[in-house]
Homo-oligomer: A and B are copies of this chain.
Amino acid sequence: MSLSMYAATVPPLRLMLKNLSAVISKAEAHCEARKIDPNAFLVSRLYPDMLAFTRQVQIATDNAKGAAARLANVEIPKFEDNEASFADLQARLDKTVAFLDTLTEAQFEGADTRTITLQLRDRTREFSGADYLTTWANPNFFFHVTTAYALLRHGGVEIGKTDYLAGSLLGK
């Protein structure tokens, strides 16, 4: 009658990181086929004061490893934020998936009621683990995954909802 915190966190994040990787592979192929400088996508923004594509992918992976690590009560892996190519971003997605794969169901015991404290820009915010996942981590993660997708789509890469949901369609 309920969802374990592990099941609510790790497999869905893993799935969407894999989907984002597949979407980025299409962008790489698109650039190669059309002799487009990949940097045109990497620095692209939907508005001048929005974050560029590379940052969207970096933050999506930060959201994923941050959420999973906080709920599993383990240290959050630190990445350097020095990605400069699609291949670098793919490696970052792979590293994030590899980190998720180290986590176990047992580490998420009690995660729903564990207090999660976040340092926001101007204050701290406390959540129960359950509220943290459903009202903070998920909305943030999907925001950046979708914005990364939107930047590629806006730039003409031939991707669709079936790419965004590729793994979900396959039932993986």
Q: Is A103 engaged at the interface, CB distance under 8 Å to the other chain? A: no
Q: Are B135 and A138 in contact (CB under 8 A)?
A: no
Which residues from B are CB-within-8-Å of A12? 134-135, 138-139
Task: Give the number of copies in the complex.
Answer: 2
Interface membership of A125, Cβ < 8 A: yes
Contact across chains for B147 and A11 when beta carbons are under 8 A apart: no
Q: Which among B1, B133, B135 is the interface contact of A5 at CB below 8 angstroms?
A: B1
Q: Knowing that A125-B169, A139-B142, A143-B149 are A-B contacts, what are 16 other residue pairs whose CB atoms are under 8 Å apart, sorted by A's residue number?
A: A1-B108, A2-B3, A2-B4, A3-B5, A3-B8, A7-B130, A8-B8, A16-B139, A47-B156, A50-B153, A139-B165, A142-B142, A142-B143, A143-B161, A146-B150, A147-B150
